[in-house]
Amino acid sequence: MTTDQSPAESDVAKLQDVAGRILSTVWGDNYHAGYWESEHDASSNEVAQWRMNDVMIKKLGVSAGQRVLDVGCGVGAPAFQLAEQTGATVVGVAISRSHIEGFRRRARERGVDDLVSIELIDALAMPYPDDSFDAAWVVESFINIDRPRGLRSIARVLKPGGRLMFTDVVQPTRQVTDTDQARAEMLDTMEMGELPTREQYLQWVRDAGFTDIEVLDITANTQQTGERIAAGIRKHYDALVAELGPEATGILEQMTTSIEVEYMLVTAHLPDAA
């Protein structure tokens, strides 16, 4: 993002506006992967999405009265479930104006607007003072954020002992069938940085000051997501193009195409105060 752009004017924000409208149509308000118990689990998309929220909430481990930062919060479904189940207050940051409008409207409708809020803020330039939050989570949003800088930015606003939970994709360790061109097209169209290795990623987490790092590989639990989203896009393709315009076709095509990745859920802590 150039220095003369507001967060909402960036290419990433424009992508998120379009991708969010697509996901709301074909997937629902949880802009993240679903969680299936096994390859034989035939749970609906919605059930799998809320189950993923349950897994993340348990891993984050917050309680009533604590303050949680939700980086790249979308239209808020995970934040709402987190607030309802724990009583924690959740502050979402986003760079898409449509996400902010959708978050606020949905929060009012769900009756959680006393516990959740959202602001138009770049995660790499957050105005919050040091030690502002008890915990933070980043649900798939690191794909559009400079990861090392994002981790340091989050560490700054967390209190000593603060907890971080994030989900993201990394390069697979197995042999893949993706072509270099297919991978490059996906990363370019979806404004994604080059996928790191797991070892590289975990070094960034350590460099940001986090300790007690736990990695849960949930690739197998989330792998139904891509094809189910693709099926929804194929079903609604013509209507989505009519709504969003022909300029959205590239994003639609990429969202029906998967590259091979590994999906991990990571938790870590900052050290307690001396």
Q: Active-site residue numbers?
A: 140
d(CA 56, CA 187): 26
DSSP collapsed to 3 states, the chain: CCCCCCHHHCHHHHHHHHHHHHHHHHCCCCCCCCCCCCCCCCCCHHHHHHHHHHHHHHHHCCCCCCEEEEECCCCCHHHHHHHHHHCCEEEEEECCHHHHHHHHHHHHHHCCCCCEEEEECCCCCCCCCCCCEEEEEEECHHHHCCHHHHHHHHHHHEEEEEEEEEEEEECCCCCCCCCHHHHHHHHHHCCCCCCCCHHHHHHHHHHCCCEEEEEEECHHHHCHHHHHHHHHHHHHHHHHHHHHCHHHHHHHHHHCCCCCCEEEEEEEECCCCC
Angle at 50 between CA 44 and CA 54, to 5 degrees: 135
